[in-house]
């Protein structure tokens, strides 16, 4: 890669090497990083290649046990780590200290009960800014960032973001209405700490999903026309939203059949059975006793996209249906009863706990959780301690408070860590730097460009398979070690250079956007620490962006860089802050969350 293509302002970031020693095989810091070559360094971490596998690892089932709740008060390092895992990172030293003093349980309870940001409410609030008083799709994107940057519920925001990457809808076409997207986000927020069974039903009947995966207007088989129920949603709800392709043990390891082959979770007959069970549903709000209303709706009707789908019995397949594990639905059931029985059969399948649990661990804590960790989380999914299956609040608590999630030794653990997603890194910088606009809004819309943005943007995943697969294995050392690194599926030469230019420009300008929605960064708290040898500033950056886990080599390079920059005036101190932040953004021990 041509290093001259990296547009990092040399007046902000002096030519200081960025080398970090490679440790054991895992998500560790690569060796040999220097100067602008750091732009390609992240790819070294991933083996600079492609290749993936969604197959679970084999092994014996682990004996699930109760998650370990850490003793209070936690260390500063571990408190900062929890804020990175469960929110968007620390915003201040005071926030970390407050968490230390109150303890994790109190913080979690506060988050579970925090006021919920309203996405549709944001659309209604903002429609008057348009001359025609109509909402725009960009408002749906803004609403997500309003919750992320200014909401009182960062844990709920992170959980709904994790769920959106499992139960994917995307406006990449673009053809999904703003109210459809925003009401879908409200639904995920509402279910974030609820029960998976209710979540599964609400996803299934949401008009955005009905439109995106074609369950809406899916008709029973018509031999004369040669048509049959649409199988799109039936296929994806099994493969992506619940159980996956392979039968799993409670610890997430694969099961094998008598021939030594991976045991399939289901076959095509099962997909057809669920498609038949889901037939006869269309958009809500119409008179469903009138057959022609099944295909008659006004897409410009905003209420349509906020109302659950409803059944038309005339279009429902009334025959018997084959479901998972040989279960059959009897003929002549109502559409409502078939849907309930079909969703119950999915919800009670033993794969759901390890399949969903593993992905949530990956989104919050680490890409390669141990079998024992998955097993403990799976056990909580099966029974929250009070005989309830699918309690997502209990599952999330188990993930965040597990012994493998907590502790001060994360940087030394083999096979541990995950890449911070590009949009989460952006949110972390905006929050920690107190970004605010004149009118209190943002104009963050399209970040999916690989050339000059982040290669990732909420509600704009390239397909129902999300931005990356949970089992993605970059070719090279990680694949050889049997490890996965999902976020590296959107990490390549172009996205690395694009994101570094993006963050360099952000810090150089001290703002994102323009006009009244320009988010202005507040450098004052860091500038106040930027005198002397820079060690106080480095300590604060370590807390905010490295969770007190900055490597010795990154610290040394920051110190060398700051030592070469005078601090003789307020402007010089600001230059120091901007340069330090730019180096932080490209540091592997920031990009990789431990």
Of 186, 180, 163, 310, give the one whose Cα is nearest residue 242: 163
Beta strands in 223-288 (DSSP E): 281-282
- 469, two tokens: 């697969």
Rounded distance between C-alpha atoms, residue 474 and residue 482, angstroms: 10
CB-side exposure of 327: number of CA atoms within 13 Å?
Answer: 17
The residues, any chain, with a CB within 8 Å of residue 223's CB and separated by 6 or more, are: none
Residue showing tokens 């890409």: 367
pLDDT of residue 72: 57
pLDDT of residue 70: 55
Neighbour count for residue 455 (Cβ, 10 Å)? 21
Residue showing tokens 């999914």: 381
Residue showing tokens 């997603």: 421
Residue 47 region by backbone torsions, left for phi larger than 0, else alpha for psi between -120 and 50, else beta: left
CA torsion sign, 27 to 28 to 31 to 33? positive
Confirm if 183 and 206 have CB atoms less than 8 A apart: yes
> DSSP letters along 447-480, please?
---TTTS-S--TT--SSTT-SS-TT---TTHHHH
Using CA atoms of 259, 262, 266, 271 in order, give the dihedral in degrees to the nearest 10. Answer: -120
Of 19, 41, 43, 7, give the one whose Cα is nearest residue 507: 7
Rounded distance between C-alpha atoms, residue 281 and residue 24, angstroms: 53
* The model's pTM: 0.91
pLDDT of residue 371: 98
Q: Which contacts (CB < 8 Å, 24+ apart) does range 571-577 have? A: 573/527, 573/530, 573/531, 574/523, 574/527, 574/530, 575/11, 575/12, 576/527, 576/530, 576/534, 576/537, 577/523, 577/526, 577/527, 577/530, 577/537
pLDDT of residue 566: 96
pLDDT of residue 452: 87
Nearest-5° Cα angle at 435, 450 to 554: 65
Rounded distance between C-alpha atoms, residue 424 and residue 200, angstroms: 26
Length of the chain: 594
Rounded distance between C-alpha atoms, residue 80 and residue 587, angstroms: 18
For residue range 292-339, what is the model confidence (pLDDT) as tens digits? 999 999 999 999 999 999 999 999 999 999 999 999 999 999 999 999
Confirm if 321 and 216 have CB atoms less than 8 A apart: no
The residues, any chain, with a CB within 8 Å of residue 270's CB and separated by 6 or more, are: 238, 322, 323, 324
Rounded distance between C-alpha atoms, residue 52 and residue 483, angstroms: 10
- 362, two tokens: 């990956």
CA 26, chain centre distance (Å):
21
pLDDT of residue 71: 55
Confirm if 546 and 428 have CB atoms less than 8 A apart: no
pLDDT of residue 59: 39
Of 416, 483, 379, give the one whose Cα is nearest residue 52: 483
Each residue's pLDDT, cut to its tens digit, for the chain (594 residues) gives: 333 334 444 434 443 333 333 333 345 443 333 333 343 344 334 333 333 344 454 433 333 344 455 555 899 999 999 999 999 999 999 999 999 999 999 999 999 999 999 999 999 999 999 999 999 999 999 999 999 999 999 999 999 999 999 999 999 998 999 999 999 999 999 999 999 999 999 999 999 999 999 999 999 999 999 999 999 999 999 999 999 999 999 999 999 999 999 999 999 999 999 999 999 999 999 999 999 999 999 999 999 999 999 999 999 999 999 999 999 999 999 999 999 999 999 999 999 999 999 999 999 999 999 999 999 999 999 999 999 999 999 999 999 999 999 999 999 999 999 999 999 999 999 999 999 999 999 999 999 999 889 999 999 999 999 999 999 999 999 999 999 999 999 999 999 999 999 999 999 999 999 999 999 999 999 999 999 999 999 999 999 999 999 999 999 999 999 999 999 999 999 999 999 999 999 999 999 999
């Amino acid at each position: 890669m041509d290093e001259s293509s990296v547009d990092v302002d040399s007046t902000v970031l002096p030519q200081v090497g960025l080398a970090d020693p490679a440790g054991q095989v895992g998500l560790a810091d690569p060796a040999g990083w220097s100067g602008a070559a750091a732009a390609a360094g992240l790819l070294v971490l991933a083996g600079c290649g492609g290749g993936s596998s969604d197959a679970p690892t084999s092994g014996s089932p682990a004996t699930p046990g109760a998650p370990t709740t850490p003793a209070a008060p936690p260390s500063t390092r571990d408190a900062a780590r929890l804020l990175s895992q469960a929110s968007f990172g620390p915003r201040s030293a005071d926030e970390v200290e407050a968490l230390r003093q109150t303890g994790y349980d109190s913080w979690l309870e506060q988050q579970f009960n925090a006021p919920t940001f309203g996405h549709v409410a944001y659309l209604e609030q903002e429609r008057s800014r348009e001359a025609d008083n109509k909402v725009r799709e960009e408002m749906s994107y803004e609403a997500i960032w309003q919750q992320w940057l200014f909401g009182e519920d960062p844990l709920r925001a992170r959980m709904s973001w994790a769920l959106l990457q499992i139960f994917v809808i995307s406006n990449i076409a673009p053809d999904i209405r703003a109210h459809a997207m925003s009401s879908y986000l409200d639904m995920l927020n509402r279910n974030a700490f609820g029960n998976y069974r209710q979540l599964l039903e609400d996803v299934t009947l949401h008009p955005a999903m009905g439109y995106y995966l074609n369950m809406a207007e899916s008709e029973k088989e018509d031999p004369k026309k040669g048509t049959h129920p649409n199988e799109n949603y039936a296929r994806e709800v099994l493969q992506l939203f619940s159980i996956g392709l392979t039968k799993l043990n409670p610890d997430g390891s694969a099961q094998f059949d008598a021939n030594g082959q991976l045991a399939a979770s289901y076959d095509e007959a099962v997909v057809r059975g669920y498609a038949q069970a889901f037939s006869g549903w269309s958009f809500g709000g119409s008179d469903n006793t009138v057959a022609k209303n099944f295909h008659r709706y006004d897409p410009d009707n905003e209420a349509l996209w906020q109302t659950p789908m409803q059944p038309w019995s005339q279009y429902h397949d009334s025959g018997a249906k084959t479901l998972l594990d040989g279960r059959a639905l009897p003929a002549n059931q109502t559409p409502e009863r078939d849907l309930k029985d079909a969703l119950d059969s999915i919800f009670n399948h033993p794969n759901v706990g390890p399949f969903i649990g593993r992905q949530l661990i990956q989104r919050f804590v680490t890409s390669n959780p141990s079998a024992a960790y998955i097993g403990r989380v799976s056990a909580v999914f099966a029974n929250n301690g009070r005989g309830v299956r699918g309690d997502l609040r209990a599952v999330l608590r188990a993930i965040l408070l597990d012994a493998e999630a907590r502790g001060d030794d994360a940087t030394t653990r083999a096979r541990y860590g995950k890449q911070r997603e590009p949009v989460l890194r952006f949110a972390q910088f905006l929050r920690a730097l107190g970004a605010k606009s004149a009118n209190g809004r943002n104009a963050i819309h399209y970040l999916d460009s690989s050339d000059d943005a982040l290669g990732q943007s909420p509600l704009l995943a390239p397909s129902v398979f999300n931005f990356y697969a949970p089992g993605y294995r970059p070719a090279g050392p990680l694949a050889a070690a049997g490890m996965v690194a999902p976020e590296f599926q959107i990490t390549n030469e172009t996205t690395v250079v694009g994101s570094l230019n993006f963050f360099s420009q952000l810090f150089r300008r001290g703002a994102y956007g323009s006009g009244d929605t320009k988010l202005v960064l507040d450098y004052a708290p860091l500038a106040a620490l930027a005198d002397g040898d820079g060690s106080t500033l480095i300590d604060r950056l370590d807390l905010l962006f490295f969770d007190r886990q900055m490597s010795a080599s990154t610290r040394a390079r920051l110190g060398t860089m700051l030592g070469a920059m005078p601090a003789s005036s307020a402007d010089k101190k600001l230059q120091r802050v901007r340069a330090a932040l730019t180096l932080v953004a490209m540091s592997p021990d920031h990009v990789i969350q431990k």
